[in-house]
Chains A and B, each alone.
Chain A
Amino acid sequence: MSLKLGVPSKGRLMEKTFDWFAKRGLTLARTGSDREYAAAIDGIEGMELVLLSAGEIPRELAAGRIHLGVTGTDLVQEKLPLWEQQLEEVQPMGFGHADLILAVPQCWIDVDTLDDLDAVAASFRQAHGHRLRIATKYHRLVREFLTVSGVADYQLVDSQGATEGTVKNETAEMVADITSTGETLRANHLKLLADGLVLKSQATLWRSRVASYSEKDREVLKALTSLIHD
Chain B
Amino acid sequence: MIKHSDTLARAARLRMNFEAAGAQVVDPPLLQPAGTLLDLYGEDIRARAYVTSDAVRGEQMLRPDFTLPVVQMHMHEGAEPARYTYSGEVFRRQEHDPERNNEYIQVGYEIFDRDDPAGADAEVFALFALQLRGLPLRAATGDIGILMAAVEGLDTTAVRKAALMRHIWRPRRFRALLDRYAGRTPLPESRLKLLSSEGKLTGSATVVGKRSEADIDARVDILRADAAAPALAENEILALEALMAVRETVPFAMEQMRDIAVDLPAISPALDRLDMRVAALKARGIDVDNLDFEASYGRTSMEYYDGFVFGFYAETRPDLPPIASGGRYDALTRQLGQGEEIPAVGGVLRPDLMLMLEEGQS
| Chain A interface residues toward B at CB < 8 A | 81-82, 105-110, 112-113, 115, 118-120, 122-124, 127-128, 131, 139-140, 143-144, 146-147, 149-156, 167-168, 170, 172-174, 188-190, 194
Contact = CB atoms under 8 A, between A and B. Distances in A.
B206 A108 contact: no
Contacts of B202: 107, 109
Given A110-B220, A189-B205, A194-B190, A154 B43 contact: yes
Contacts of A194: 188, 190
A157 to B, nearest CB: 10
A226 to B, nearest CB: 35
A147 B44 contact: yes
A131 B205 contact: no
Interface residues of B, number: 38
B191 interface: yes
A152 B219 contact: no
Interface stretch (B68-76, B134-142, B167-175, B313-321): B167-175
B210 interface: yes
B205 A147 contact: no
Contacts of B220: 109-110
Given A152-B42, A194-B190, A110 B170 contact: no
A-B pairs with lowest CB-CB distance, top 7? A150-B173, A112-B190, A107-B205, A81-B95, A167-B209, A150-B170, A110-B219
Interface string B199-212: 00110011111110
Contact of B44 (A106, A109, A139, A143): A143
Contacts of A106: 205-206
A153 B172 CA distance: 16
7 contacts: A107-B209, A146-B43, A147-B44, A150-B167, A154-B42, A155-B42, A189-B208
A174 B42 CA distance: 17
A119 B219 contact: yes
B173 A105 contact: no
Nearest to B166: A122
Contacts of A105: 205, 207-209, 211
Nearest to B44: A147
Contact of A131 (B42, B46, B170, B173): B42
Contacts of A150: 167, 170, 172-173, 176
A127 B176 contact: no
B98 interface: yes
Nearest to B206: A189
Contact of B216 (A82, A107, A152): A107
Interface string B33-62: 000001100111011000000000000000
B232 interface: no
B116 interface: no
A154 B39 CA distance: 10
Contacts of B172: 150
Contacts of B209: 105, 107, 167-168, 170, 172-174
Contacts of A149: 173
Interface in B69-95: 95
A113 B194 CA distance: 13
A113 B190 contact: yes
Contact of A143 (B39, B43, B188, B210): B43
Contacts of A128: 210
Given A108-B216, A109-B194, A156 B210 contact: no
A86 to B, nearest CB: 11
A106 B203 CA distance: 12
